[in-house]
């Protein structure tokens, strides 16, 4: 292996020279921004909890509950990013030994089941929110449906992203299960 074949970062003057690539956030989906917002809110609440407990020696009781609910939001909204990138845990070992047509059929079935699951979870979350009605949080006097609305947003985004992933798989003629080396951005 030739050590000089890579990019040159050490200049002739003996100094380190590196140039960062331009950051392009234009392709960042709305779920990622929502998840980032929830994450920073979670960080702020946890910092408040730490500060009030260890510096003021008077822990704010609301921080525990709100941090838990924000974590729920981060998980469900953030999971939609994994669906969009199609990089949730999957087992592609079986696809190596299946005939191509059987693998294709199974991959299409996986896409259909994923869409059905996330769509049904979206409907069930709406039904649960309707049954919860005016149920309040334990410490903070806010409706629990605020928390469940983040879950609803996450499941709805996962359902829509699953449809998009299935469409991409259909158009290009294979899925990541069939060709694990491919990515959602590959065409």
> Nearest Cα to 176, choosing from 121, 130, 107?
107
Per-residue pLDDT reduced to its tens digit, 112-128: 999 999 999 999 999 99
Q: What's the rounded Cα separation, in Å, for the pair 182 and 2?
A: 28
The pTM score is 0.79
Could you read off the pLDDT of 80-116 as tens digits, one per residue? Answer: 998 988 877 777 777 788 888 888 888 899 999 999 9
Give the per-residue pLDDT at 185: 61
What residue spans of the chain are helical by DSSP H? 30-54, 62-85, 93-97, 100-132, 145-172
């Amino acid at each position: 292996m030739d050590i000089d074949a890579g990019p040159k970062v050490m200049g002739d003057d003996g100094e380190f020279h590196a140039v960062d690539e331009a950051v392009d956030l234009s392709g960042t989906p709305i779920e990622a921004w929502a998840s980032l917002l929830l994450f920073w809110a979670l960080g702020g609440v946890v910092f408040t909890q730490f500060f009030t407990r260890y510096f003021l020696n008077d822990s704010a009781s609301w921080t525990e509950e709100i941090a838990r609910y924000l974590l729920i939001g981060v998980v469900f909204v953030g999971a939609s990013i994994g669906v969009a990138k199609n990089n949730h845990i999957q087992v592609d070992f079986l696809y190596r030994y299946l005939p191509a047509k059987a693998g294709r059929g199974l991959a299409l079935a996986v896409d259909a089941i994923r869409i059905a699951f996330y769509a049904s979870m979206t409907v069930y979350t709406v039904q649960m929110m309707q049954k919860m009605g005016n149920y309040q949080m334990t410490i903070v006097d806010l409706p629990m449906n605020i928390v469940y609305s983040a879950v609803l947003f996450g499941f709805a985004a996962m359902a829509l992203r699953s449809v998009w992933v299935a469409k991409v798989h259909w158009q290009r003629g294979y899925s990541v299960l069939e060709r694990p080396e491919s990515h959602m951005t590959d065409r």
